[in-house]
C-alpha cells in the first residue's frame, strides 16, 4: 500500500483546475483500492463513520488516505483516468515475484511460463451505458450494453494460484462477434506487452477461438513465443481433412499410457501429427496437432477428450506434458474469472459505471487487488500463516472486514498481530516488534 500510495501521488489530474479541491487523486484511488482489497463495497462508508466517532480510521492508517472522499466523489475523480495507468503497478508486483524466485516456479513446457488467454464480461445493463459500451441483442431483441476484457493469467498444472496480468479492455472497434472481440483484444495485448518477455519464454494457452491463423502467426513469428490452443473439427475443417488423409496412410503417431489416479486406473491415448496446415490458405501456418483421450480402464468409458494445435515440437517424450499444459487452460476460467466474479471480488457488480472510463478503471483496480492477494500468498509469511489458520478465503476476508469495521489499527503489522493473538498461534519473528 505504501508503494501504491507513493506512485499514485503523481496520478494524472482528471478535474478542471479549482481552488476548492479538497481531495487528491491519490486519495480517490487508494479509497477504491480499500474497497477492492477488503472486498467490502461499504468499506468507505464504515471508515467515514469511524472517523466521525474516533477521529481516525483504517482508511487513513492502512490505505494512507488523507481525506476520504464520498463514493460519488471517488467515482467522479476516477472516471476520466486511463486504466493503462495501472500497468506499472502490475509490473512492480511481478518484479517482487521475480526477486523472490516465485516466477521460476511457474515454468513448465520447455522452460516457458504458461499464460492463459480468455475473455470475461464485467458489466451488463439494459439501462446504463457509456460511449465505450459494447452492444448485443438477446433472443427477444433487447439491447444489452456491456463491457468485457481479456485477463491473461500465468498458470501451472498442479498449482492452485494463478497470477493475473494487466487486462486488455475489449473496445467497440474489436468487432461485434465474440470471436472477433477476443481475438482483436488479444492481438492488441500482444502488441503492447510481448516485448517484455524474452523470446521463447512464454506459452500462450487458449480455447478454440484463439487457434486462428493471424493470431498464431503473430505469436510464433512476431513475438517469437509458443502457443497451445484448442482446435475443434467443426471450426478447422481443412486441418481435419488433412488429418483424415494422414490417418488413412498411418502417418499419425500414437502413444498409450496407463495411469493410477489414486482410486482407479485410466488409459491415456495420445495421438499427434507434426507440420500440419492450420487452414487451406495458400500460405498456411504449419502447426503440430495432438489429441488426448482418457478412458476409464474398468468401464471403457471416455472420461476426457480434447485436441490442440501448437508450435512446440511434439514427440513421445513431451506429449503428456503438452497435454497437461493444454488442459491447464481451464484454470483461466475456474481459478481467475470465477474467483473474480463469485469469490468476493464481484467484478461484474456495478461499483460505478461513469460517463467515460470509470468501469474499465475500477475493473483494472479490482484485478490488481486480486494480484496483490496472490503475491502476498506467495511472498508474505504472516499472510500465509493467517490464510492457513483461517482455512478458507471467505473466512479470512469475513474476519478482516469485521475487524476493520469496529476497531482501529495503526498499521498492518498491528492488525496481523491482533489476528495471530486472537487465533492463539505463534506470532512470526518479523511481527514481534509490533506485539
Domains of the chain by residue range: 227-317, 382-435
Q: Which of 343, 355, 261 is nearest to 303 (CA)?
A: 261
Average pLDDT over residues 92-112: 96
φ, ψ of residue 217 in degrees (nearest 5): -70, -40
**Sheet containing 163-164: order of strands:** 163-164, 153-155, 113-116, 202-206, 226-230, 302-310, 286-296, 265-277, 253-260
Residue 180: band (very low, low, confident or very high) from pLDDT cuts 50, 70, 90:
low
Write the pLDDT tens digit of every residue in 340-358: 887 778 887 778 888 899 9
Decide if pLDDT at 237 tops 90: yes
Write the pLDDT tens digit of every residue in 210-230: 999 999 999 999 999 999 999
How far apart are the C-alpha atoms of 155 and 165, rounded to whole Å? 11
Q: What percent of the chain has pLDDT over 70?
A: 97
3-state secondary structure of 139: coil
Residue 107 · residue 158 · CB < 8 Å: no
Helix (H), strand (E) at residue 146: strand 143-150
Write the pLDDT tens digit of every residue in 268-282: 999 999 999 999 998
Question: Pairing mode, if any, of strands 119-125 and 153-155?
Answer: unpaired
For residue 118, is it left (φ>0), alpha (ψ between -120 and 50) or beta? Answer: beta
Amino acid at each position: 500500500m505504501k508503494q501504491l500510495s507513493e506512485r499514485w501521488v503523481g496520478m494524472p489530474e482528471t478535474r478542471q483546475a479549482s481552488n476548492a479541491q479538497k481531495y487528491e487523486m491519490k486519495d480517490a484511488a487508494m479509497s477504491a483500492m480499500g474497497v477492492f482489497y477488503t472486498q467490502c463495497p461499504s468499506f468507505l462508508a464504515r471508515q467515514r463513520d469511524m472517523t466521525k466517532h474516533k477521529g481516525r480510521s483504517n482508511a487513513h492508517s492502512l490505505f494512507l488516505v488523507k481525506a476520504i472522499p464520498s463514493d460519488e466523489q471517488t467515482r467522479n475523480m476516477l472516471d476520466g483516468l486511463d486504466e493503462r495507468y495501472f500497468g506499472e503497478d502490475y509490473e512492480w508486483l511481478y518484479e517482487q515475484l521475480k526477486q523472490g524466485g516465485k516466477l521460476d516456479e511457474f515454468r513448465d513446457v520447455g522452460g516457458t511460463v504458461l499464460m492463459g488467454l480468455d475473455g470475461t464480461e464485467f458489466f451488463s445493463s439494459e439501462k446504463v451505458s457509456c460511449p465505450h459500451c459494447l452492444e448485443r441483442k438477446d433472443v427477444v431483441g433487447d439491447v444489452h450494453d456491456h463491457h468485457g476484457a481479456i485477463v491473461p493469467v500465468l498458470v501451472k498444472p498442479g498449482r492452485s494460484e494463478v497470477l493475473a496480468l494487466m487486462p486488455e479492455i475489449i473496445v467497440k472497434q474489436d468487432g461485434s462477434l465474440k470471436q472477433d472481440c477476443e481475438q482483436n483484444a488479444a492481438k492488441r495485448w500482444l502488441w503492447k506487452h510481448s516485448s517484455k518477455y524474452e523470446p521463447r519464454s512464454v506459452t500462450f494457452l487458449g480455447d478454440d477461438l484463439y487457434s486462428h491463423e493471424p493470431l498464431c502467426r503473430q505469436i510464433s513469428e512476431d513475438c517469437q513465443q509458443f502457443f497451445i490452443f484448442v482446435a475443434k473439427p467443426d471450426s478447422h475443417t481443412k486441418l481435419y481433412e488433412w488429418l483424415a488423409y494422414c490417418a488413412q496412410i498411418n502417418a499419425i503417431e500414437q502413444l498409450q499410457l496407463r495411469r493410477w489416479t489414486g482410486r482407479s486406473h485410466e488409459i491415456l491415448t495420445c495421438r499427434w501429427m507434426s507440420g500440419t496446415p492450420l487452414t487451406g490458405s495458400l500460405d498456411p501456418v504449419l502447426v503440430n496437432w495432438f489429441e488426448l483421450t482418457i478412458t476409464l480402464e474398468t468401464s471403457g468409458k471416455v472420461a476426457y477428450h480434447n485436441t490442440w494445435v501448437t508450435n512446440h515440437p511434439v514427440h513421445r517424450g513431451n506429449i503428456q506434458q503438452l497435454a497437461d499444459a493444454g488442459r491447464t487452460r481451464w484454470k483461466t476460467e475456474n481459478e481467475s474469472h470465477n474467483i473474480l466474479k463469485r469469490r468476493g471480488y464481484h467484478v461484474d457488480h456495478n461499483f460505478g459505471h461513469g460517463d467515460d472510463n470509470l468501469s474499465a478503471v475500477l475493473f483494472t483496480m479490482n484485478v490488481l487487488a486480486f494480484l496483490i492477494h496472490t503475491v502476498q500468498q506467495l511472498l508474505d509469511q504472516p499472510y500465509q500463516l493467517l490464510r492457513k489458520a483461517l482455512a478458507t478465503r471467505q473466512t479470512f476476508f469475513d474476519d478482516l472486514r469485521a475487524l476493520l469495521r469496529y476497531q482501529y489499527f495503526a498499521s498492518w503489522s498491528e492488525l496481523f498481530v491482533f489476528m495471530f493473538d486472537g487465533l492463539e498461534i505463534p506470532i512470526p519473528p518479523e511481527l514481534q516488534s509490533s506485539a
